[in-house]
């Protein structure tokens, strides 16, 4: 017997029950989908960061030499003075040494000048400068060193006090034998001879421009050294001399030599049997010289071997 299916209409109560069950299923499915979607979004966001995002955001400070100032000069005497400095920044590393350096030149560093060492660290410090010469202009500046380098304060200029100079006074590497009208400048003789027998040099060759006057010995010496290539001559011995910390010695002019003779007793050490060469030329073959036994001045052949005594100016 063939079974027949029949279609029938649902009652309102059956339809309501059917749709209620369908709504429950839909709501249940929706509740599970939301957490899963949220977890997926969080996973994508978490794993989308690059490696650089994990690097701390900071800047490495750059290191520099210390920054500092130079203090004003105080307590200036003929041979000493007080200075110092203030280190306002260590430059990012510890200051290992500090002090002041000084020179008679305006261009210098701690490597080519005198200096003090006055502790370490930042802040202010005081430096006592010693070993200066009277009546000299000096330049000083504070310094500080760290692992990066050395920093400097500004240059400060000062003059040591000038004493009342007298003839016969030990000063400037020798003995003062002449003081000019200012009372502040003059000539100093070495305390011993530089040679007991040396030629003037360049016999037959004239050296233009030499003078007999006081104050011209240095210029004379320079002209002779530049114009005469002969080794070991009187002017060159004086020009090359380094004595008692000074290297600016020269062969005195004729009139400067006479001042030495007038004060030979306070200078001392002069030979009486041989004349002394001056730096004053008489002619291409002759130059001026002087005996210290009686003060006699004359000109002699440049090739003769006479004594040499160097002088310097102050």
For residue range 43-66, list pLDDT tens digits in order.
Answer: 544 454 444 455 555 565 689 999
User: Which pLDDT score, from 0 to 100, does residue 310 have?
Assistant: 98
User: Which pLDDT score, from 0 to 100, does residue 162 have?
Assistant: 81
Half-sphere exposure of 179 toward its Cβ, with a 13 Å CA cutoff? 13
User: Which pLDDT score, from 0 to 100, does residue 39 have?
Assistant: 52
Residues of the chain with pLDDT under 50: 1-10, 12, 15-33, 35-36, 41-42, 44-46, 48-52
Where do the structural domains in the chain lie, given as residue ranges?
Answer: 67-159, 170-313
User: Which pLDDT score, from 0 to 100, does residue 161 have?
Assistant: 86
User: Which pLDDT score, from 0 to 100, does residue 2 have?
Assistant: 43
User: Which pLDDT score, from 0 to 100, does residue 54 have?
Assistant: 57
User: Which pLDDT score, from 0 to 100, does residue 157 have?
Assistant: 96
Compute the radius of gyration of the chain from its Cα atoms: 47
CATH tag for 67-159 (out of 2.120.10.30, 3.40.50.1970, 2.60.40.10, 3.40.350.10)? 2.60.40.10
Chain-centroid distance of CA 114 in Å reads 9
User: Which pLDDT score, from 0 to 100, does residue 184 have?
Assistant: 80
């Amino acid at each position: 017997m063939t079974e027949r299916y029949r279609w029938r209409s649902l009652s309102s109560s059956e339809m309501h029950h059917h749709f209620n069950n369908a709504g429950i299923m839909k709501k249940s499915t929706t509740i599970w989908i939301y957490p899963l979607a949220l977890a997926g979004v969080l996973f994508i966001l978490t794993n989308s960061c690059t490696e650089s995002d994990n690097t701390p955001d900071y800047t490495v400070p750059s290191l520099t030499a210390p920054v500092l100032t130079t203090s004003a000069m105080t307590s200036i005497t003929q041979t000493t003075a007080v200075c110092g400095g203030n280190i306002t920044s260590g430059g990012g590393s510890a200051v290992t040494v500090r002090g002041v350096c000084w020179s008679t030149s305006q261009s210098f560093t701690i490597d080519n000048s005198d200096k003090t060492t006055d502790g370490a660290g930042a802040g202010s410090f005081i430096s006592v400068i010693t070993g200066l010469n009277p009546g000299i202009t000096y330049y000083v500046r504070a310094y500080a060193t760290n692992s990066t380098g050395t920093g400097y304060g500004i240059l400060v200029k000062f003059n040591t006090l000038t004493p009342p100079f007298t003839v016969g006074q030990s000063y400037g590497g020798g003995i003062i034998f002449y003081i000019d009208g200012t009372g502040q400048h003059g000539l100093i003789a070495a305390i011993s001879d530089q040679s007991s027998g040396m030629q003037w040099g360049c016999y037959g060759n004239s050296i233009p421009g030499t003078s007999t006057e006081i104050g011209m010995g240095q210029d004379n010496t320079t002209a002779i050294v530049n114009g005469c290539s002969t080794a070991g001559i009187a002017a060159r011995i004086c020009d090359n001399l380094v004595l008692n910390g000074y290297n600016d010695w020269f062969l005195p002019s004729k009139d400067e030599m006479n001042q030495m003779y007038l004060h030979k007793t306070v200078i001392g050490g002069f030979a009486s049997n041989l004349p002394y060469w001056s730096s004053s030329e008489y002619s291409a073959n002759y130059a001026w010289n002087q005996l210290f036994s009686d003060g006699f001045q004359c000109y002699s052949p440049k090739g003769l071997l006479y004594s040499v005594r160097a002088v310097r100016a102050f």
